[in-house]
Amino acid sequence: MARHVVATAAEIPPGGRKIVTVRGREIGVFNLGGEYFALLNRCPHQGGELCRGTLIGLVTSSEPGRFDYSRPGEMLKCPWHGWEYDIRTGQSWCDPNDTKAKAYAVTVEPGETLARGPFVAETFTVSVEQAYIVVEL
């Protein structure tokens, strides 16, 4: 499994995202309050560009008439049919048993550990001063 530098840490602020191309695959990288997660930009339902969807929260209901809204910004809603996924895991909330958005491991690493390269996703010259987001694929 190769590791790919896809962005500087500063490039994706909390609540932000960036869609990158790694080995021909489009991957959305999300910053949830300082933690980074990556999902394939393809909805497993019908192939919509999932990572361009709206960020929403989790709605749960413990009884009829009561709705709880939690984890704002941690769920992703596909622009097409509105299927919702947990950005942290790729878990589908419409069809949790059979459907899962493909998730990738993400780390943030200081430039000096990466400078040996080669890291070619997009065209990054890795400098040692910054922190970088690395996707494993």
Query: Measured from the CB of residue 61, what is the shortest distance to another protein in angstroms?
Result: 16
Q: Which of residues 79-118 bind another protein (CB under 8 A)?
A: 79-82
Rounded-to-integer distance, Cα 15 and Cα 68, Å: 21
Residue 35 vs 112, nearer CB to another protein? 35
Regarding 55 and contact with another protein (CB under 8 A), the answer is yes
- Residue 121 Rama label (left phi>0; alpha psi -120 to 50; beta): beta
Which of 3, 9, 32, 49 binds another protein (CB under 8 A)? It is 49
Query: Measured from the CB of residue 86, what is the shortest distance to another protein in angstroms?
Result: 16
Exposure letters 19-35 (e unless 16+ CB within 10 A, then b): ebebeeebbbbbbbeee
Query: Measured from the CB of residue 112, what is the shortest distance to another protein in angstroms?
Result: 25
Which of 3, 8, 32, 52 binds another protein (CB under 8 A)? It is 52
Residue 80 vs 93, nearer CB to another protein? 80
Rounded-to-integer distance, Cα 86 and Cα 71, Å: 10
Question: DSSP label at 121?
Answer: S
Size of the site for another protein (CB under 8 A): 25
Nearest Cα neighbor of 82 from 54, 41, 124 is 54
Residues making contact with another protein (CB under 8 A) = 12, 15-21, 26, 45-49, 51-55, 73, 77, 79-82
